[in-house]
Amino acid sequence: MKSIRFSIVTMILFLACNIVFAQSRSYPPLIETASHVETFKVVDDFELKLWIFEPRRHQVTDSAPAIVFFFGGGWTNGSPSQLTKQCEYLAARGMVAITADYRVASRNNVTMDKCVSDAKSAIRWVREHSSEYGIDPNRIVASGGSAGGHLAVSTALLPKFDEPSENLEISSKPNALVLFNPALYFDPQDNGEASDAENRSPNPVDRYGDNTAEDLSPYHHITKGAPPTIVLSGSEDFLITEKTINMFGNKMKEVGSECTFVIYEGEPHGFFNWGMKNNGPYIATTKRVDEFLVSIGYLDAPPESTEYKFE
């Protein structure tokens, strides 16, 4: 059984395959298929945006479920365009699908806690403005891959990091989670710093800011009321190990929450992305996500009913 005692910098180095893939997308992104682009937060004149994909014939009087995606890239790089294809598919299936920006170390010299804060702000903004976009405020899903998966689950589980200037009476917690090879557990003994200069990340700041590893570890904050969750990962993923799966899944079961792990044999970290292996893993994972959303009542019909074509 693989060890889960990674230091945070070691984990970032192992995330290289996903980071490289994310870096291949331009920033700021040009996402032409989105219905709307909205700014949800401004920090030091840096605008954070949401790209909103609406279902066909969608009306503001509707009450559609929504899903908010967060890109991967080790909290250091990446682009909101990473999950555009997932947005297009789920919009075709009847959801309002959104891909969100957040601050990262390479562009904003921030630590991981600021990334979580931005993700919480995005969920809160969507709920606060739900009536303007025909969204059901009680059916909001957070999703993401790798570091973005960590941000998605953090919006649901981490009790800290809400932006104090926002209306905290509006919840930043999603109602369900769809996670692609997310970081779920950080070792409480990890201080977030590189052991030597040679192994430092591009921005050698303390990855946790003024927080501990446990503060930012989703596993350590699973409590009663955790939302229904699906986790999709590959059997060859260095990050989502068998031990992590058992720990996270068992703790979710203990508090009475649904948590389904779907493991794809032989697949590495980042396998779910559009463009990998002729899009086979993307299609398989997207269809499995669809099944999960049907099972919790967020989509009404099986995947075969959609007019969307995987091209």
Which residues face 180 on adjacent strands? 145, 232
Q: What is the dihedral of CA 95, 96, 99, 100, to 10 degrees?
A: -130
User: Given a cut of 70, is residue 117 above it in pLDDT?
Assistant: yes
Confidence of residue 278 (pLDDT cuts 50, 70, 90): confident
How high is the pLDDT of residue 224?
Answer: 98
**pLDDT tens digits for 289-302?**
999 999 999 998 87
| Per-residue tokens: 177 | 């989670």
pTM for this one?
0.89
User: Given a cut of 60, is residue 14 above it in pLDDT?
Assistant: no
Share of the chain above pLDDT 90, in %: 76
User: Given a cut of 60, is residue 174 above it in pLDDT?
Assistant: yes
Average pLDDT of the residues of the chain: 88
* DSSP structural state of residue 9: H
**pLDDT tens digits for 220-251?**
999 999 999 999 999 999 888 888 999 999 99
What is the Cα 141 distance to its own chain's centre? 10
The candidate with the shortest Cα–Cα distance to 141, out of 51, 85, 69, is 69
Find tokens 């999709």 and name the residue: 232
Cis upstream peptide for 80 (omega within 30°): no
User: Given a cut of 50, is residue 268 above it in pLDDT?
Assistant: yes
Share of the chain above pLDDT 70, in %: 84
How high is the pLDDT of residue 6?
Answer: 44
